[in-house]
Each structure stands twice: as structure tokens, then as C-alpha cells.
Chains A and B, each alone.
Chain A
């Protein structure tokens, strides 16, 4: 699984420009599903047929990044964030644009770090002047951060674990799942980081009876961190709430019971900020049952998001066990 994680997290794909990562995921999941389709927004739908409940498993392919808004007289690219990008976390990072051009993010001199915002940042692509910059990278180019995955003891650190690790969990679950009474739609969604947009369109299309998002969640296990119960190495986090969703009680209890039955290490997730595709699925059509399995992750939305391999393994296990259940019966759907 480690090789797959490395390949998936290191691939380019900011919101709105998910073509490369979609191609990789398509190849990886193809052997394990009955059909593949890409909808008009760019969501990848991988379906395992079944007679039972329609279950949508959503993991988002997109990562945070930026878009080139204009080019200044000296040939530096001026940018705006795509998704929740903190300006200080951009400093001196290496970046890649959607046409393959590389750059480094610089900052205008500031007296105090609090003054750093996107108007002070620029991307240096090594252009001599405005004309050369324009010929290398015009306005409207999307960009993302570059970083190689690295192992820290039993943890991994990489860019875009949010949410490529969810994509890997979905692929791995599709591989391991031999039999399921449900019709499972693995959906690799686009544009989550700019407002859960892909999942909203996909849920509208599929109209599932249960939505399960796979995503990262914050932790409370680093110095002076927010007071949250989630910790690395404590297993898969079963979401109770975030800012986009209060998980319906019967969904949460179903997930917890499956974890208990199969002795899968798990912890409750109560996230005080942020949302996931499950929130968008929940409010689609006339309301859809939805929940979320999360991978506890430190330093989310940085180039060194850090998670535990054992938690990832527990998440795959729980997802497989959930999908093996007769969802119609478990959730008392008619």
C-alpha cells in the first residue's frame, strides 16, 4: 500500500485541475470494479454492482493550491489561493503549474509575519521579465505544492494526504472487497477544497441511500493543539460532527457496531472546524443518510501532512466490513 500512497500523494491535482490524478486512480481501481465513468464535473465514478442499497463512497481527488491571477511588471506571478491555504505555509515552497512549469514562492519584505497575505506573495518561475513570464505561464494557470513523501518512524509525512489518503483507502477497499450485497459507487470527487462541489453534483446524480466520505481529520496530540480527542495511532476516526454535518445517529451507531464486532481500533471524531463531502451528500436531493470515516492527520493543509500507517490500515478494514454488511437491513431502510 505504501507504494500506492506515494504515487497518489505526489501527483498534481489542485481543485478544478484533477485530470492527472484521475487518470492514475482510474488505472489503479479499474481491475476491482464493474464500471468506470467520468461525469461532466470531472468526478470519477467506479461502480461495483449489487442488488442492495446504493452506497456512495466519496474521497476527494483535489488538493489545495493556487491560481495565477496576474503577472507583474518584473515577471513574477501573483496568485490567489484555491481552497484553504495559509499564506505563511506557502513561503519558499516549490510549486508546479498545470503546464509543467515549476516555481518557488517568494514574499515581499515585511516587518512582521502577521502582515503576510496573498498580496505579498509571488511565484518566481525564473522568468527574465513580464513577457517571458507570460510565455511560460499565463493568467488562469492553476498550481499546487511539490513535496516527496517521507517516513517518520511508523508515520508518513507528505503533501495532499488530504485527501489522497482517502482515495487510497477507497482503492484498497475495492481491491479487498470480494462480496457485497450493496451497489457501491466509489466516487473520487473534484473541487472539495473549494466547497464540496463535486460531491454535491455526484450525489445529485447517484441519489444514494447512504453516503460515506473518507477524509482526514485534525488531531489534538501535538504541543498546544486544539482540544480534540483524536490522536494518531488510535485507529480509524468515526465522525460524530464537523461544521458541515451532524452524523445521523443510526449511521454513527452502525459504523461503531461494525468496528466493535470486528475488533477494529477506532476513536470518535468530533471536529471543531472544517467539513467533508459527507456534508454535501447529506443535504442533496431530499436528504441522504451520510457519515464519514476519517484518518487522524497532523499539519493538515501543509506540505507535510502526517498520519499513521496503522490508522490507515484500520480505516480500510472498517470500510470493507461496513460494505460487506447488508446496508438496507442494518439501517432499516425499506
Chain B
């Protein structure tokens, strides 16, 4: 089960440059669905019909893209300037290893060493303007030949397992992608009582852009998004919410910045969890946005987000509990197998 998450996490797919991860997902799901297709923006669609009569049409989404960097300038000494793609915390970038482009040219994010900084510079984190990517090029010509402007970069992080957790990059939202893939890989004797259109979306991290064209194309009755979301169960003040906590099960979102979850879908999922004895929690903050933000308003589509809690999303390395991931798959599968019209 973790094998798929591992492959997806290690693949590259910064927003706007999702070719590698899309090809990998397509290869993984194609024998388990009726058809696959890709639209002009790069969203990957998979159709899994049911034989059930008058079945509702459920859109399942997970975004393929991850936050990263883009090369935007070349200095005369061969160092590269860059901009963030999506919500990258620039304070944690210094000294991280980066892979650039399809060829995975390795680089490191450099900055002025501590010896050369004046005292004032010690006091504040390094701004983006003080950072650059060093690929070991000797001059501008060599640098731009290896890494032309517009090349995407991602963190060089290799997936690993430790005890009951796994570590890797881009669990937001490769955890959602592999969860959705697992849902599509049904056994021969299993069939969902709903028509499923699964879409692996592009450009979520830069503003829910891939998902914004889905509702009109798919015209679903319901939508469920699968996400890797913030687990804030780290040292914090007494009144601060942890948002979600690791090892407490998948999280249902009642509200975030972009959508209020359908209360009826929340009821169905939480009831399913109770009946099947699957742990679950609520996401206990209203921050962040997801693809359902732009999907649910198109004529009104009841929508819900189900997330795997991940510590340190949008950073070079995230951590998630294997039991949360497995329970998320289990809950989503049971809820779909026992899907009730909630309208």
C-alpha cells in the first residue's frame, strides 16, 4: 500500500510542470478504470462507471502538483535566481538541496555565510532576495545552458520509512493522489454503487486553477477532495488549535477559506467511520483552501474534503503516520461503497 505513496512522493511535479507525476499516475491506474484522458490544462481524468441503476455521479479529486521553485535569472558568476511556485516558506530554504528540470540537475540553495554577515543580518531570516541556487556552474553561459530560465525545481528528498511513520516530500497532495489511486484499484468482485470520475488536478498550489474548469466538464452530483493537510500537533500555546493531529485518523473539514463542507456529506462520512470503527477527526482550523472551493459553486455541488494529517507540509520533508493513511483509504472506500443520496 505504501509502495504507491513512495513512488508518487518521489516523482517531480511542480505546479504547471506535472508531466512526470501525471505519466506515473496514468500508468498506475489505467488497468483499473474504463478510460483515462487529459485536458488542455493537464488534468488527468479516469472514469470508473457502475452497473447500479440511477447511480449518483461522484467526482473525486486530488491535486498532482507540489510547491517548488522556478529559475528566473542567471548571475554573471553562474548562480541562479529563483522565485517560489506556490506557498513556500522562504525562511526554510537556505542550504536545501534542489533538483532542477527533467534532467534533475542537482543544486543547493546558497546564501552569504555567517562570517560575512553583519550583526543586524543575524537577527532576521534570510529573505528570498538574499538566496540563490548554486549548480556549480562557472559562469552565466554554462549555467543557462544547463538550466534555462523557466526551469522548475523541487526539493531533493527521497522517501523513507521509520517505525510507523513515513518521511517524504509533497505529501500535499501525493498522499491524496495515492489514496485516490488505491480507491480506483478495486478487486474483481468489488463495485462502487456510484459513477466515479476521478481527476488528478494541476496547479492547485498556485490558486486552484486546474480544478476551476472541472465542474462544467464533469457535471457531478457530489465532489470529494483528498488532501494531505497540516498537522500542528507540535509545541504550541494552550489556546492554539493543532488543526489536525497525527495518529488520530483521517480529518474531515467543516470549513476552510474557500468552502463550507456539505454537512450531509460530513454526516455520512462520520457515521460510516463510527459504524465501521475507523478513527477520524475534524480539521480544527479554517485556514487553507482546496480544489472544492472552485468546484462547489458551479451550480451548487455538495462537497467535502478528507485529509491525511501531515506534519511539515510545503517543506522539504513531511511526516505522516501510516495508520492515518490506511484509515483514510478505508474510510473513503467504505463511505463510497455505502454511498447514500444525501440531497
The answer to whether B343 and A40 have CB atoms under 8 Å apart is yes
Write out the residue numbers on chain A whose beta carbons fall within 8 Å of the beta carbon of B255. 16, 67, 80, 82, 140
User: What separation, in Å, do the CA atoms of A202 and B297 have in the docked complex?
Assistant: 9
Residue from the list A16, A42, A138, A201 in contact with B299, Cβ < 8 A: A201
**Stretch of A70-78, A86-94, A300-308 that contacts chain B:** A70-78
Q: What CA separation (Å) do A204 and B219 show in the bound complex?
A: 13
A41, A119, A191, most chain B CB atoms within 10 A: A41
**Which of A16, A82, A191, A197 lies in contact with B263, CB distance below 8 A?**
A16
A288 to nearest B CB, angstroms?
15
Q: Which residues of B contact A200 (CB under 8 A)?
A: 297
Contacts of B258 in A (CB 8 A): 195
A-contact 0/1 string along B253-273, CB 8 Å cutoff: 011001110010010000000
Residues 124-151 of B, flagged 1 when their CB comes within 8 A of A and 0 if not, give: 0000000000000000000000000000
Q: Does A40 lie within 8 Å of B302, measured CB to CB? A: yes
Q: How far is the CA of A322 from the CA of B198 in the complex (A)?
A: 46
Contact A72 B254, CB 8 Å, known A16-B263, A80-B286:
no
User: For the complex, is A2 an interface residue (Cβ under 8 Å from B)?
Assistant: no
The answer to whether B239 and A120 have CB atoms under 8 Å apart is yes
Chain B interface size range: 20 to 34
A99 to B302, CA, bound (A): 21
Check A69–B285 contact: CB distance below 8 A.
Answer: yes
A5 in the interface (beta carbon within 8 A): no
**Beta-carbon nearest neighbor of A98 in chain B:** B263
Given A197-B297, A200-B297, are A69 and B286 neighbors across the interface (CB < 8 Å)?
yes
Contacting pair A204 B239 (CB below 8 A): no
A140 touches B239 (CB 8 A): no
**B282 CB-CB contact with A under 8 Å:** yes
Q: 1/0 contact trace for B239-250 toward A, CB 8 Å?
A: 111100000000
Residues of A within 8 A of B239 (CB): 72, 78, 108, 119-120, 122
Is A15's CB within 8 Å of the partner chain B?
A: yes
Contact B299 A139 (CB under 8 A): no
Interface centre among B258, B266, B284, B298 (most CB of A within 10 A): B284
Taking a contact as CB atoms closer than 8 A, the residue among B284, B297, B343 that contacts A139 in the complex is B284
Do B238 and A73 touch (CB < 8 A)? yes
179-211 of chain A: CB within 8 A of chain B: 191, 194-195, 197-198, 200-202, 204-205
Number of interface residues of A (CB under 8 A): 33
From A194, which residue of chain B is reached at the shortest CB distance? B260
A108: min CB distance to chain B, Å = 7
Known contacts A40-B299, A205-B300, A140 near B282 by CB under 8 Å: yes
Q: Could you say which residues of chain A place their CB within 8 Å of the CB of B297?
A: 41, 197, 200-201, 204
Q: Select the residue from A43, A69, A72, A202 with max chain B CB neighbours within 10 A.
A: A69
Closest chain B CB from A140 CB (angstroms): 4
In Å, the complex CA distance between A205 and B300 comes to 9
Contact code string B276-304 (vs A, CB < 8 Å = 1, else 0): 00000010111000000000111111100
Instruction: Provide the bound-state CA to CA distance between A218 and B239, in Å.
Output: 34
**Most A CB within 10 A of own CB, among B238, B241, B242, B258:** B241
Task: Report yes or no: A67 in contact with B241, Cβ–Cβ below 8 A.
Answer: no
Contacts of A194 in B (CB 8 A): 260
Q: Which chain A positions have C-beta within 8 A of B284?
A: 69-70, 139
Counting CB contacts under 8 A, is A39 at the interface? yes
In the complex, what's the smallest C-beta–C-beta distance from B257 to chain A, in angstroms? 9
Which B296-329 residues have C-beta < 8 A from chain A? 296-302
Cα A146 to Cα B240 in complex, Å, equals 26
CB <8 Å contact, A40 and B260: no
> Would A201 and B254 count as touching, CB distance under 8 A?
no
Question: Is B260 touching A191 in the complex (CB atoms < 8 A)?
Answer: yes
20 new A-B pairs (CB below 8 Å) besides A41-B297, A67-B254, A140-B254? Answer: A40-B299, A40-B300, A41-B296, A42-B300, A69-B284, A70-B284, A80-B255, A82-B255, A119-B240, A138-B282, A139-B254, A140-B266, A197-B296, A201-B296, A201-B297, A201-B300, A202-B300, A204-B297, A204-B299, A205-B300
B residues touching A (Cβ–Cβ < 8 Å)? 237-242, 254-255, 258-260, 263, 266, 282, 284-286, 296-302, 343
